[in-house]
Structure 1
Amino acid sequence: MENHQLGTEIADALGLLLRRSTRARLYGRLTDGLPVDEFGYPVLSALARAGACSAAELAGEVGLDRTVVTRRATHLETAGLLRREPDPADRRATLLLLTDEGTAVVAELRRRLATLIADSLHDWPPTEAQAFAAGLTRFVADGPFS
């Protein structure tokens, strides 16, 4: 298969993977029974990756408007998953931080996601699954998203 055709095939697969409806279905499955919903999931997950940060910084990480992140953060705060603290570098600013419960929920979300992925690869030959993991990791690190 020529590289351009291969690139098109990968782009089509990524397009399906990154569709908002695909992500929403996945987030709904992951959050079922937890004190976070599919709308708060990306904010909570990004906060776990980024560490303490402002809503504006988190908005850039999540790819949402700051006001949307602020609203979702308020829901997560009400659920006891994050807290707000004054920014020591700028007392006018507020930082968002995970609570212990938020950290535990993120750990459960990651466990559920890893299980879903592992289950979807269950019928793959182990060498194919390992090659896929290595290739995807390399593509993310070195490809157009880096």
Structure 2
Amino acid sequence: MSDDHATGAAPGDSSLGRIETEVALLMRLGEATRRATGSAEHRVLDRAAYVILRHLDAAGPQNVSALAARLNLDGSTVTRQVSALQRDGLIARAPDPADGRGTVISPTPAGLHRMAAVQAARTRLYGDILADWTPTDRDTLATLLSRLNQALDSRTRHR
């Protein structure tokens, strides 16, 4: 079996090599852009805290195990991150209504405020970066990135 066939690539499909390169570059430049951005709003939350708060805002209160599973992270990693968020007053723990022995976490108003500030700063940044793109091109990019993220998420869940 050829390498192309083993990876699901059609023989001679150079677009997959370009995609791999562009995704690697996107991740590197995204992080470099975050670090280089002068706005303090980008730095009021680290990346992990932002992702946790965004998920809790969208999905509602969760126990740490469910949160770890959804974010594809080790439970001990999420526990450490949640402890730091709680120490900073950005999340709160409450008894789990489904299991009185456990707890669920949810964002506090301060956590939601900080998350919204980071989200607004990031939205403005991408607005500046993509200012010369047409609305159709921006919409196409959003759609394709969503599809890529869904495919990546599906693959990690089925491994």
User: How far off its partner does 1:41 sit?
Assistant: 2.5
Task: Name the TM-score, length of structure 1 as normaliser.
Answer: 0.76
Give 2:6's aligned residue: none
- % same residue: 28
Q: What SS class does the counterpart of residue 100 from structure 2 fall into?
A: strand
Residue 45 of structure 2 corresponds to residue 26 of structure 1: no
- Name the CA distance, whole Å, in 1 between partners of 2:86 and 2:106: 10
Residue 79 of structure 2 corresponds to residue 70 of structure 1: yes
**1:24–1:38: 8 Å Cα contact kept in structure 2?**
no
Residue 99 of structure 2 corresponds to residue 90 of structure 1: yes
Q: What SS class does the counterpart of residue 40 from structure 1 fall into?
A: helix
User: How far off its partner does 1:31 sit?
Assistant: 3.5
- Name the CA distance, whole Å, in 1 between partners of 2:142 and 2:18: 14
Q: Map 1:95-134 onto structure 2 (within 5 A).
A: 95-124=104-133, 126=134, 130-134=136-140
Q: For residues 15 and 118 of structure 1, do their structure 2 counterparts lie closer, same or farther at Cα, with a shift above 3 Å needed? A: same
Q: For residues 8 and 133 of structure 1, do their structure 2 counterparts lie closer, same or farther at Cα, with a shift above 3 Å needed? A: farther
Residue 64 of structure 2 corresponds to residue 58 of structure 1: no
- Name the CA distance, whole Å, in 1 between partners of 2:67 and 2:131: 35
Give the length in aligned residue pairs. 139
Q: Which runs of 5+ in 1 are unaligned?
A: none
- Name the CA distance, whole Å, in 1 between partners of 2:53 and 2:139: 25
- Name the CA distance, whole Å, in 2 between partners of 1:28 and 1:105: 20
Give 1:40's aligned residue: 49
Q: Which runs of 5+ in 2 are unaligned?
A: 1-11, 155-159
- Name the CA distance, whole Å, in 1 between partners of 2:54 and 2:35: 11
Give 2:5's aligned residue: none
Q: Of the two structures, which has the highest relative contact order with CA contacts closer than 8 Å and spacing of 6 or more?
A: 2
**1:47–1:98: 8 Å Cα contact kept in structure 2?**
yes
Task: Name the TM-score, length of structure 2 as normaliser.
Answer: 0.71
User: How far off its partner does 1:133 sit?
Assistant: 2.6
User: How far off its partner does 1:42 sit?
Assistant: 2.5
User: How far off its partner does 1:106 sit?
Assistant: 1.5
**1:59–1:69: 8 Å Cα contact kept in structure 2?**
yes
